[in-house]
A and B are shown apart, each in its own frame.
Chain A
Amino acid sequence: MSERSSIFEACPKISFRLVVQPQKRIDIKKTLELIICRVVNLRFLLVKWHPPNSDVIVKNGGIQPSFPWEYLDITKELQELSISPSQLITCTPSYFKEDQLEVLNKRNANVVSLLQETFGNEVRLLEEKSWLVESSSSLATDAADAAADVASSSVDVEDNTIALLAEEEPTLHDDTNEKNPLSEQEAATKVQSTIRGHQSRNKTSEYKVWLDNLVGLSNDNSSDTKNELHLLENNLSENHQQRYQEQKYCKESYENDLHRLKNVVKEEEGFNMSNQLRDERTKWITDYTIKNNSLPDSFEDFYKKDLPPTDEDDDKENKDAKGSKQKKDASADKKSKDKKDAIEEVERPTLAAPQTILDPLKESIQIYEERWMHRTVGEDRIKSQSHDVEMAKDLIVRDQVRSELTIGVEEKLLSNILKIKDMQEAANTKKSKSKKGKDGKGKKKGGKKAGGKKEKPLPGAKLPGMKDMSVDEMLSILVKNGLVSLPDEEHKLHDFIGGFDNGRPKLSTDMDKQERWIPQDPSALQLQKTIMEYCILPLGSDDIKSKIQDDENIRSLLFYGPEGSGKTRMVQTIASEVGALLINLSSLSIKGDSFEGKEGATKLIHMVFTIAKEKSYAPVLIHIDDCHEFFMGKGKLKKGGGSNINTEMQRFQKDLLIYKNQALKKEDRVLVIGCTNMPEVGDIKLLRGKW
């Protein structure tokens, strides 16, 4: 586990981040993204197969129900391996934002201009909450004065604590100054005493420095080393900047050169290539015509002939061979399955990565070794960081030119085939008029079947005005309603401060009043790790999102906990780490007449999800604050809920469910995060996902 994290941490920071050669970067990026997919995959496997607590294990050999607890307690294992828990924390790969900087900047500039149009120069970020702390505002403003007086009387902190707990705050607060301002003499004495105190403290600190020097405990060396470290850090960041500039320059020149090379290859090799393509296809057409006694309609079969037989074909053959025997077995199996009812087949954990990740990973590592390993040493060592022209021709340009030429060649050949077919049909029309009519009807029916299931149109698409509205117009409406904000660059995941262990002290019990096991609260580091693997890594790039397995694709998350525990801040952090656009849905932000009633709700949700699905705005975070108001049960609604709960938000419930399930596809880099400090108010069935 530690190896995994250290490798993963090293890849983006040391290896990938500093590589300048653009083609090498592409190869490394492919491998890195597959590793990221595997990290996410491992997370799901660990949660699935983590042995449950001994108190929730079924005795007497019964079937163990799964208990998917997200947080793994691996303190013992780490102690045995002498690994620090902080080593398990991975950092966000810097390329997530750096590689799509232009797109993100364009999007941000668009949003900022819209925000400035609406709100002037004050760009609105996600609402920061403030809390009522049980002290008066006058106390707050005069706290410094009061504390200075108390400090001079050297009051012990513990005494203060006891005094405070006994609600004796007024004793700490000297408000006599306000009523009776100090006389000149008193003021002068106070100023003098403050200055004297300041001078004596200075003297004491000077004496301490002198004494430390004398004894040999001087901090001078440490300050020197600090300065040296600071200098080194500065140098490092300068080098990184330089590298980054080089990367940018090399990437741009590579992309520009690809266009130029395409034309060069077309001119030099285009004629031969198109001839070769035409010959291959003409030969295939003649073979096909001889074999089937008819001309082909398309070139689908031409590509199929080179493919190896698929597993499905093998299965079909096997099925045909087994014949009726299998049918009998299947009916017997069905009966036994019905008996088992809700209990599915017993699975076993697999340690190896799934083939969808493992095979491409092996391939990409092999490619890297073949292309780049020999170039880093010896005579072949890369002298220039600019791209390799021959490699670009081999890998990209020739394929592009070939595919372009193929389209042209196939179009020409198909038009010729169609002409020949038309001539043949014209000759046959007179003979088979009656038959044709019947065939036509049959074809129509077949055509309908081949079309398959049509996707249901989303409810918002039917609404008037929604069809013709562009995504930019939708965005401007949401911005005007104060629902869109940009991530704040300052937030980082490691700013979520806290330790690794959040366990209870050994003296306390792990059982509640009914003597049932209490799951331990997750620690800050555990939460950091979970957020990284569920939210940040999958949102990093389109490739990662599309490579992640279907059952590991998380589209919505619920954060619950007491107020002030960092839920909203975590949403901002995720947005900041991946550079996501934030759409804020909460009862406070959805104001005004624009989205009133059920139709208004559908309109809003339609606009939100249309924007979220737009590739040029990706990634997008949809933040539903106080989500219990959106997902309240009917029973609780009748009771009226709490006095502070806005029951109007219920109207969004249906559309949110429809759009999350139907509109969001796997490749969309969209995450819906709901936050609540009153989860018990919401309907558990509506909040809970599939377990």
Chain B
Amino acid sequence: MISSYSEGSGKPEKQGFFEKSLYFPRVNNADRAMLWREFIQRRISQFNQQISVSSELSLDYAALAFISDGYNAGQISWMVDIVLTEERVKTLSAEPLVEVEFASHITAREVNDDRFLNFTRQITTLDTVWKSINAGDKSSSGGAKK
């Protein structure tokens, strides 16, 4: 049984601006591997449509995803654009692409998304739900003692 619930003492809550909020999280390891592969393919096909990532490049995307922990789609795309210049794409057949070319732009990053988690808790009223659950537990345990 679910009922709608309003916070506080029945007073209507101040109406905010955004009716829905969506969280765009940090990219996980598996998605990063997909992103590396897709961005490299797209960048190469900008200059040369005949080169296929699957058949002609032998990059270890899992390794790239692993070392780029903490990086998001935007940064990965940016790094791919920097490394794969038009001249570099022209020389791909002579000098195959290697992971190190990208790796030289990556440094270890500390990932801390607690602030987003806290915000998610607040904006989804999860904190309020917790409070009401705790209050319910206390009152029921208090009643049992009496």
Contacts and interface: CB of A to CB of B under 8 A. Distances in A.
Given A56-B126, A147-B100, A140 B22 contact: no
Contacts of B82: 133, 140, 143
Given A148-B95, A164-B67, A687 B125 contact: no
B74 A67 contact: no
Contact of B18 (A69, A147, A194, A558): A558
Given A151-B95, A497-B31, A558 B22 contact: yes
A431 B45 CA distance: 94
Given A521-B25, A564-B71, A63 B34 contact: no
A689 interface: yes
A691 B15 CA distance: 10
A689 B74 contact: no
Interface string A192-211: 00100010010000000000
A19 to B, nearest CB: 34
Contacts of A201: 96
A527 B4 contact: no
A686 B101 CA distance: 45
Given A140-B82, A564-B71, A341 B104 contact: no
A172 B120 contact: no
Contacts of B2: 49, 64, 66, 346-347
Interface in A507-523: 512, 516, 518-519, 521-522
B23 A522 contact: yes
A140 B105 CA distance: 7
B9 A687 contact: no
Interface in A118-158: 129-131, 133-135, 139-140, 143-144, 146-148, 150-151, 155, 157-158
Contacts of B8: 342
Interface string B101-118: 101111110000101111
B20 A557 contact: yes
B35 A343 contact: no
Given A58-B133, A557-B20, A564 B73 contact: yes
B19 A690 contact: yes
Contacts of A130: 78
Interface in B63-112: 63, 66-67, 71-76, 78-79, 82-83, 85, 87-88, 91, 93-96, 98-101, 103-108
Contacts of B14: 685-686
Instruction: Identify which of A49, A198, A521, A562 gathers the most chain B CB atoms within 10 Å of its CB.
Output: A562
A158 B126 CA distance: 41
B104 A139 contact: yes
Contact of A690 (B15, B25, B116, B123): B15
Given A56-B130, A64-B2, A131-B78, A686 B94 contact: no
Given A498-B34, A527-B22, A569-B74, A68 B124 contact: yes
A346 B5 CA distance: 10
A347 B1 CA distance: 8
Contact of A67 (B99, B122, B124): B124
A689 B18 contact: yes
Nearest to A660: B17
**Count class of interface residues, chain B:** 35 or more
A234 to B, nearest CB: 15
A680 interface: yes
B17 A686 contact: yes
B73 to A, nearest CB: 5
Contacts of B13: 685, 690
Contact of A686 (B16, B24, B79): B16
Nearest to B132: A65
Contact of B10 (A58, A341, A661): A341
B104 A143 contact: yes
A546 B7 CA distance: 32
Contact of A555 (B19, B28, B140): B19
A559 B23 CA distance: 6
Contacts of B49: none
B75 A512 contact: no
Nearest to B111: A562
A158 B63 contact: yes
B25 A146 contact: no
A44 to B, nearest CB: 10
Contact of B73 (A151, A497, A531, A679): A497
Contact of B137 (A59, A198, A512, A562): A59
B124 A69 contact: yes
Contacts of B28: 502, 521
A674 interface: yes
Given A346-B1, A556-B19, A151 B120 contact: no
B116 to A, nearest CB: 7
A679 B119 contact: yes
Contact of B74 (A129, A555, A691): A129
Interface in A634-691: 656-657, 660-661, 672, 674, 679-680, 684-691
Contacts of B132: 58, 65
Contacts of B91: 144
Contacts of B9: 341-342
B29 to A, nearest CB: 10
A168 B11 CA distance: 60
A645 B87 CA distance: 40
Interface string A316-360: 000000000000000000000000011111110000000000000
A65 B128 contact: yes
A218 B60 CA distance: 24
Contacts of A344: 3-4, 6
Contacts of B125: 65, 67-68, 691
A530 interface: yes
Given A65-B125, A151-B96, A554-B20, 20 more contacts: A56-B126, A56-B133, A60-B140, A62-B140, A70-B20, A146-B100, A146-B104, A164-B103, A164-B104, A344-B4, A556-B20, A558-B22, A560-B24, A561-B24, A562-B116, A564-B74, A565-B27, A687-B123, A688-B16, A690-B16
13 contacts: A52-B129, A56-B133, A67-B125, A68-B125, A131-B78, A143-B104, A164-B108, A198-B94, A344-B6, A497-B31, A519-B120, A561-B23, A687-B17
Interface of B: 1-10, 13-28, 30-31, 34-35, 38, 60, 63, 66-67, 71-76, 78-79, 82-83, 85, 87-88, 91, 93-96, 98-101, 103-108, 113, 115-120, 122-126, 128-130, 132-133, 136-137, 140
Per CB-CB distance, the 6 closest pairs between chain A and chain B, nearest first, are A564-B74, A561-B24, A564-B72, A521-B25, A147-B101, A558-B18
Interface of A: 49, 52, 56, 58-60, 62-70, 129-131, 133-135, 139-140, 143-144, 146-148, 150-151, 155, 157-158, 160-161, 164-165, 167, 169, 172-173, 194, 198, 201, 341-347, 497-499, 502, 512, 516, 518-519, 521-522, 524, 527, 530-531, 534, 554-567, 569-570, 631, 656-657, 660-661, 672, 674, 679-680, 684-691
